[in-house]
Every structure is written in structure tokens, then in C-alpha cells.
Amino acid sequence: MKKLLIVPALLLSTATFAKEYKYELSPMIGYNIAEGNLGLKDDGYLTGGLEFQFNSPGSKISPEFSIYYAPSVDYDAGGDTNVVRGAFNGVYDFEKSGMFKPFVKAGVGLENFSDNAAGNNNGLFFDAGAGAKVAFTKNLALKLEAIYMAKINNAHAGNADSNLMTLVGLTYSFGAMAQKEAPVVIEEEEVVAVEKPVEAVVIVPVAVEKDSDGDGIYDKLDRCPNTPANSTVGVDGCVVVFDDDHDGVSNAADKCPNTPLNTKVDASGCDIDMDHDGVLNAQDICPDTPLGEAVNSDGCPKSIDLHINFENNSYKIKEASMENVKKYADFLKKYTNYSAKIVGYTDDRGAASYNQKLSEKRANEVKRALISLGVNPAQLSAMGKGEANPVATNATKEGRAQNRRIEAELTRN
């Protein structure tokens, strides 16, 4: 007898999200990185906490209750405060990969300062986090996570107070759930196959048409039998030449296939001065100069915006801006006869002296990034100009974002 295994459809639909234990208790310890305008010493402090998660086999999201406590946090101006937070989050656990189980979570909470110096009011915050659990045993795992918290504070111009908390701890799982059902085994009668006699097969030879040059046209119809590989041909097998932008250069050789009509082009089909800065493409080492910029004989502007914007009160380069940093690093590594002065700017919010220091940090951060990408330090210098020379209005959020920028002044040695 042979056996047929049937797994219930309901079991298949819930197995993906099944969890082994109902409860997870995680004592945690870590470090809270605070926004600079909170007035806390070193902009950070140690914190501890306890997280309690409830799991259900039929739910993708698990509720979690957390409490975090940081005693005697020092203020820059003197004195200290206790910081207590309570939070309620929804946790989404991804599928296990070996001992590794990643998760994400988001929710709300309440924050309390025992001493409300520096305008640190108590109130509601929103949080989002991510992390992973690394299992040691069935019940015990190492837990790593990072949580970002944002709280609206009227004392800080209505802007969100930001905190980033990084934590490590142990997760103890308990309250085992019921085991899933075993597959139902149904016995089935063995089927006996009856052999049929094999019939004779007659193979008739068929003539195969040849296409010697591989252009898709059979030899007997091909008027151009030696067409180069990958050529576009007509029904007669001869090369068809296309020039869609009518610049006199065939599509196959045209590196600029959308040249405007009546534009003077070079042998590659590109405008002989693509950025219209007065320097021909062959001599232009900066072919993307914005229209109207004053350039040197190499076609490079004396000063350009690297389009590296920063969040308010931050000098960290966004990941999205790193591509611009890499492009500028490649240029300086290729043309070592150029030096660059990296100049940082801020918007006009905050004290001018603070903005000056922040702009210097931004310029030096970009300088360090260029050096890490292989640029010779001798080619670089950095300075900050604070809130001077705005390129947009500081009255709007968008304008302030443009003013938090980095410019590079290029000098040929």
C-alpha cells in the first residue's frame, strides 16, 4: 500500500506566523542619544528598561508594554533630572533565519522629567524601532534594538524633541503554546499500471533553412549575406540605418540620441558644448556646469553647491547625499591639480554663534568623508560661514532646508 499525506489548509495558512511562546520578558540596558537643544550634558545618558511582549499564533502584530528609566541625568547648566518613559508598541516579528529573528515596532508613549529645566516638558511621544533576537536556547535570546522617539514640545518652537535609544538585553520566553496538529495519513489502494506495446515511430528528415550571418533572414532571401552581428536589418537582410534625431549620426553610434533639431554635434552625436559654458566637450572636465555659471578654461565653476542638505541641528550626512560626495571625490582623485575649500552653512534658527560652530562641523564632516573615499588631504580645506549668504528664504521649511548646505570652492593649483 502507498500512503498519501494531506496537510489541512487551515494549518498551512497560520504556520507562517506561528509563535512558540505566549510571553516575552526582556530586561534591557543601553544609551540614549538626545537632541542638542534639550540642554543635557554630553547630549546623552545611560538608561535601563523592561519590555513585555504578548504573542498570539493568529496575529502578525504583537502588543508590547515597555518602561525605561534614567536616573540623575545631568544638565549642561547644572542640576540633574530623572527621565521616565512608558510606551505601548505593536511588534512585527519576521521569519527566523537560523538563530536570527529580526523585528520592527512602532507606537506611542509618555515621557516625564522630574526637573523640567531647559524647557523639557512632560508629554506624549511617538516612536519607531527595529532590532533582532539571537537565540541561545529555546527560551533565552540576546535582544538588540534601536528606538527613535519624537515629542512635540511647545517650549522648543513647536519642533519635535528627538531621542535615539540603543539597547541590548536578554529575552526570556515562557508560556508554551499548543503544538500544531500532525498531518492526517490516509491509506490508498495501490494502482497497478498496465503496459502497452510500444508502437514504431517513423522519422522523416526535414530540410533546415540556413541563416549564415545570424540576422534572422534565411540565406536564400538574404541580399546582404555578411551582415555584422547584432545589426538591425530589413526584410532583404541589409542593414537599416536609423537617425531618429536627424543629427547626421546613426542611432547605433549616437551617444546623445535626443539632440534638438539643427544642433551642431560631434562624431558621437552630442552637442559640441553640451553645458553651453563656452568650453568644447573635448576640453571640458566639468561637462555638467549649470547654465550661466562663470567657469575657468577647463569648464569648471569656481564654486558649486554639492547638494548635501542636513536635518535641523545636525551635521550628519544623509545616506541619500553620499552619492554626490562620491562624485566629487572621484573628480578630485582624477584631477589632482585642483584643490577644494569645503564651506558649510546653516539656516538662521538659533544663536549665530551656535550656527557658526554647526556650519564648521558640517564642513569638516564632508571633508572627512572625502578623505575616507581616497582624496588627498592636501587637496582639501574646510570652513564654516554660519547663517551667512542664504540661497533661499528662511521663512519656510523648504527654504531653510536649502540653506543647510555645503558648497565647494574649486582652485586650480
Domain 19-176 falls in which CATH fold?
A: Porin (2.40.160)
pTM of the model: 0.42
Residue with cell 508598541: 89
pLDDT reported for residue 12: 37
Highest mean pLDDT among 39-48, 242-251, 266-275, 300-309: 39-48
pLDDT band per the 50, 70, 90 thresholds, residue 193: low
Beta strand 406-412 pairing with 140-152: unpaired
211 burial (CB, 10 Å; 0-12 / 13-18 / 19+) is middle
Residue range(s) occupied by CATH 3.30.1330.60 in the chain: 306-412
Which residue did the predictor score with more confidence, 6 or 332? 332
Mind listing the pLDDT tens digit for each residue in 347-395?
999 899 999 999 999 999 999 999 999 999 999 999 999 999 999 999 9
Smallest CA-to-CA distance from 380 within 345, 329, 346, 334 is with 329
In the chain, pLDDT over 70 holds for what percent of residues? 83
Count other C-beta atoms under 10 Å from residue 357's C-beta: 14
Q: Is the pLDDT of residue 289 over 70?
A: no
Mean pLDDT computed over 152-165? 81
Residue range(s) occupied by CATH 2.40.160.20 in the chain: 19-176
Mind listing the pLDDT tens digit for each residue in 398-412?
999 899 889 999 888
Query: In the predicted model, what is the mean pLDDT of the chain?
Result: 84
Q: Are 329 and 342 in contact (CB under 8 A)?
A: no
Q: Give domain 306-412's CATH number out of 3.40.1670.10, 3.90.1150.10, 3.30.1330.60, 3.30.70.2660.
A: 3.30.1330.60
Which residue did the predictor score with more confidence, 236 or 169? 169
Smallest CA-to-CA distance from 340 within 321, 353, 352, 327 is with 327
**Spatial distance between the Cα atoms of 218 and 19, rounded to a whole number of angstroms:** 63
Q: Is the pLDDT of residue 15 over 90?
A: no
**Spatial distance between the Cα atoms of 315 and 362, rounded to a whole number of angstroms:** 5
First to last CA, the chain: 89
